[in-house]
A and B are shown apart, each in its own frame.
Chain A
Amino acid sequence: MFLWLIPILPFLGFLINGLFGRRMPKSMVNLFAIGSVTLSFLWAVKTLVGLSPLETKYIEHYFTWIQSGALNISIDFAVDRLTAVMLMVVTGVGLLIHIYSIGYMADEDGYYRFFAYLNLFMFFMLVLVLAQNFLVLFVGWEGVGLCSYLLIGYYFLERFATNAGNKAFIVNRIGDFGFSLAIFLVVRQFGSLDFTKVFDAARPMPTETSAGILTTICLLLLVGAAGKSAQIPLYVWLPDAMAGPTPVSALIHAATMVTAGVYMTARSATLFTHAPIAMDTVAVIGLATAFFAATIGLAQTDIKKVFAYSTVSQLGYMFLGAGVGAFSAGIFHLMTHAFFKALLFLGAGAVIHGLHGEQDLRQMGGLFKHMRITAITLLCASIAISGFPFTSGFFSKDAILVAAYERAPWMYWVGVLTAGMTAFYVFRAWFLAFTGEYRGHAHPHESPLVMTGPLMLLAVLAIFGGFINVPHWLEPMFGERPENQTLAWLSAGVGVIGIATAYLFYVARPAMADGFAKAMNGLYTLVYNKYFVDEVYDAAVVTPVVKGSRIFLWRGVDAGFIDGIVNGFGARSRGVGNILKLLQSGNIRSYAAWVVLGSVLLLLAIGFGGATR
């Protein structure tokens, strides 16, 4: 079936664009970039059609990578139903975003570099999704982290962009450390990293009621997922990652890379279901993140930051779904989130592009008449994310919330409250941007078709995508999920209330918003400054590490110790030379004295050394 073609085609696009893109005209760069992703998408479709109905996992074995003692790790790609969903999301949404980028990045320097990195990202993400063992998944994991760093720092001449890229990579690294430890423990426990082997060995193991090896592995996997998918406490890189171009935010930080954590958790479902403590930790962290990020999103003024915190919040929902055992619901939400969040970001990008770089909501307003298509598509995304009845978000979010209710009712209520807040801040952004009078100074215009086309396609998917019955499709893997109509309609109702509140605050009575903010001044400041989490991290972790490195590691160890040893060798040699040079006094008579001394010593040796009878 040649599964390897699916990732390799974007990789070839990366090579060609990366090596030769500088000299190629834009049309050729487009051809290779879009063409490779299109071919990858089509090949994925063909593979899935050919493999349907995918009752069992289809594995392709390529070659052995590591053979060390009893440990045997090989490069394998595999397709099962979960992979199928991910493949469609990654290649499909990725393709739409690639097309959109042609319009968005048209005036940027380093056009070819953008597409090269984007293709490289597709390669690594597909490797991650197709992996059949933890180590190949980790390769994809690290690779997407690298591409994220490269793309966040795309405007590398801007300090804040490179800082954001560093922050993303370093915080991810902390998560990767947890992931690495989990991999080591898996090897130690199961002797292999292959998914089939590990999960078949784990299935008959007893469910752990207290902390045991499986719990430890799952908690460490959670650390890795928290880093990659921006959960508490490692979410701080995602809002800063908005420094990258908007298509990057859409593809990497909304639709695909950040979902890698959720995918990995769903893939390891067998391990998690055997460790209830870890599952509960996942659910609680997911819920807390969802709530926490939603509160921050209420007060942000940068449109991309609003959506960034929304992403963190929605990822929390996905982890909540995984944590209560509704893995299929979590994956379903992953898919629908890819649709509407990518649409939100791309729409925001169209607005920013139309306003020539303005991102502040307070400088927008009344853009509806200037950008109708953008406005309508963004409206579709907003109602989807709010869980308006029969949109995609409705089905996916309610699947999670219903499952949460089964686990613990309080989780359901917190989740519903968060859904209300989600609706509120999304529509706050929409109203502030598109209604009222224009408060800015630029000349807004609609975007070209190459950008609005993907918007329209994603809008259709956002509205109607819920009818793709992913949980049913994933049932053989994750089991049936309960349904509860009452709870579902209740959460949808809360969503509508949120929309209405936003309308009230920002359209009907605009002064109410300011009054409300002034009334709760302290709370507002706290939320507006994202609870000062970055400042706390800086003081508690970053500054001590930097200072400690500078003082101890750099000056002490490197300059003092290591340089001291190396320079010491030179100094020793010079010292010895200084002593030896005293022999060369130029005074012939001292030379003569040395000669006599030598002969005396020689005679001593002869006389007492036994050479004489």
Chain B
Amino acid sequence: MTALIFFLFASIAVFCGISLVTQTHPIASALSLIGVMGSLAILYLQLGGEFIAAAQVIVYAGAIMVLFVFVIMLLNAGAEGTSLQMSNFAKYVGIFLLAAFLGLISFVIQAMLPKTEGVVFGAFQGGTALNIGRKLFTIYLLPFEVTSVLILIAILGAMVLARREI
């Protein structure tokens, strides 16, 4: 059961990811990204992260992506042309670098986890809002407050940058 859900939603995520990278119209890319986020939320649930799954759907897919869609609409971005104008370094070396990157990442992962256990739904019960809240407001209080300030700065910055010059 676990495997079925994993493979289903993993393939959906990969498929959406590829579509994000290869679609010409930004709106299509945005929708693909929403697809990725949704499948990832399911996977989080499988791993016991209920709070995070909920936060993913609400914050990421619900707010950030909506913001993206709004901006795409505002800018009236259209499909970009097909001619790929890029620096030679990016064009020829980039794909190779990508492959190297993936291979190396996999290698590092394999080296770090020689024996991997299986994922069982329900094996980790610690991802509840209660646990997260406890940790968040005691041990990680400083980062919490700092990120609050960070969001405040982001709001101010966005307002300053996007206002109409009078």
Contact = CB atoms under 8 A, between A and B. Distances in A.
Direct contact of A and B (CB under 8 A): yes
Interface of A: 585, 587, 589-590, 592-594, 596-597, 599-600, 603-604, 606-607, 612-613
Given A593-B94, A600-B100, 9 more contacts: A589-B86, A590-B87, A590-B90, A596-B98, A603-B105, A607-B104, A607-B108, A612-B108, A613-B114
B149 to A, nearest CB: 27
Among B90, B93, B112, B114, max chain A CB count under 10 A is at B90
A600 B101 contact: yes
Contact of B90 (A589, A600, A606): A589
Nearest to A586: B87
B8 to A, nearest CB: 30
Nearest to A603: B104
B111 A607 contact: yes
Among A585, A589, A613, max chain B CB count under 10 A is at A589
A597 B111 CA distance: 22
A603 B101 contact: yes
Nearest to B104: A603
Contact of B104 (A590, A597, A600, A613): A600
B82 to A, nearest CB: 16
Contact of B97 (A585, A587, A600, A613): A600
A309 to B, nearest CB: 86
B97 A596 contact: yes
A596 B101 CA distance: 8
A604 B105 CA distance: 9
11 contacts: A587-B87, A590-B87, A593-B87, A593-B94, A593-B97, A596-B101, A597-B93, A600-B100, A603-B105, A603-B108, A612-B111
Contacts of A594: 89
The size bracket of the interface on B is 10 to 19
B98 to A, nearest CB: 8
Contacts of A592: 90
Contacts of B108: 603, 606-607, 612
A593 B101 CA distance: 12
A585 B87 CA distance: 9
Nearest to B112: A612
A589 B104 CA distance: 22
Contacts of B89: 590, 593-594
Given A589-B86, A612-B111, A596 B104 contact: no
A587 B111 CA distance: 36
A596 B87 contact: no
Decide if the interface of chain B is mainly helix, strand, loop or mixed. Answer: helix
Contacts of A600: 97, 100-101, 104
Nearest to A590: B87
B100 to A, nearest CB: 6
B104 A593 contact: no
Interface in B57-104: 86-87, 89-90, 93-94, 97-98, 100-101, 104
B16 to A, nearest CB: 22
B21 to A, nearest CB: 14
Contacts of B93: 593, 597
A596 B107 contact: no
A594 B87 CA distance: 11
A590 B91 CA distance: 9
A607 B105 CA distance: 9
Contacts of B111: 607, 612-613
Nearest to B107: A607
Nearest to A599: B101
A88 to B, nearest CB: 93
B103 to A, nearest CB: 10
Contacts of B101: 596, 599-600, 603
A232 to B, nearest CB: 80
Nearest to A602: B104
Nearest to A594: B89
A604 B104 contact: yes
B6 to A, nearest CB: 25
A612 B113 CA distance: 10
A611 to B, nearest CB: 9
Interface in B97-149: 97-98, 100-101, 104-105, 107-108, 111-112, 114
Contacts of B107: 607
List the 6 closest pairs (A to B, CB-CB), nearest first: A590-B87, A593-B90, A612-B111, A589-B90, A587-B87, A603-B104
Contacts of A612: 108, 111-112
Contacts of B86: 587, 589-590
A589 B93 CA distance: 12
Contacts of A587: 86-87, 90
B87 A589 contact: yes
Nearest to A596: B97
B120 to A, nearest CB: 24
B41 to A, nearest CB: 27
A315 to B, nearest CB: 85
A587 B88 CA distance: 11
Contacts of A590: 86-87, 89-90
A319 to B, nearest CB: 86
A606 B107 CA distance: 11
A587 B108 CA distance: 31
Contacts of A597: 93, 97
Contacts of A596: 94, 97-98, 101
Nearest to B109: A612
A613 to B, nearest CB: 6
A596 B93 CA distance: 10
Contacts of A599: 101
A593 B97 CA distance: 9
A597 B112 CA distance: 22
A603 B101 CA distance: 8
B116 to A, nearest CB: 14
A27 B94 CA distance: 94
A587 B87 CA distance: 7
Contacts of A589: 86-87, 90
Nearest to A606: B108
A599 B108 CA distance: 13
Contacts of A585: 87
A211 to B, nearest CB: 79
A607 B114 CA distance: 14
Nearest to B94: A593
A144 to B, nearest CB: 76
A596 to B, nearest CB: 5
A597 B89 CA distance: 11
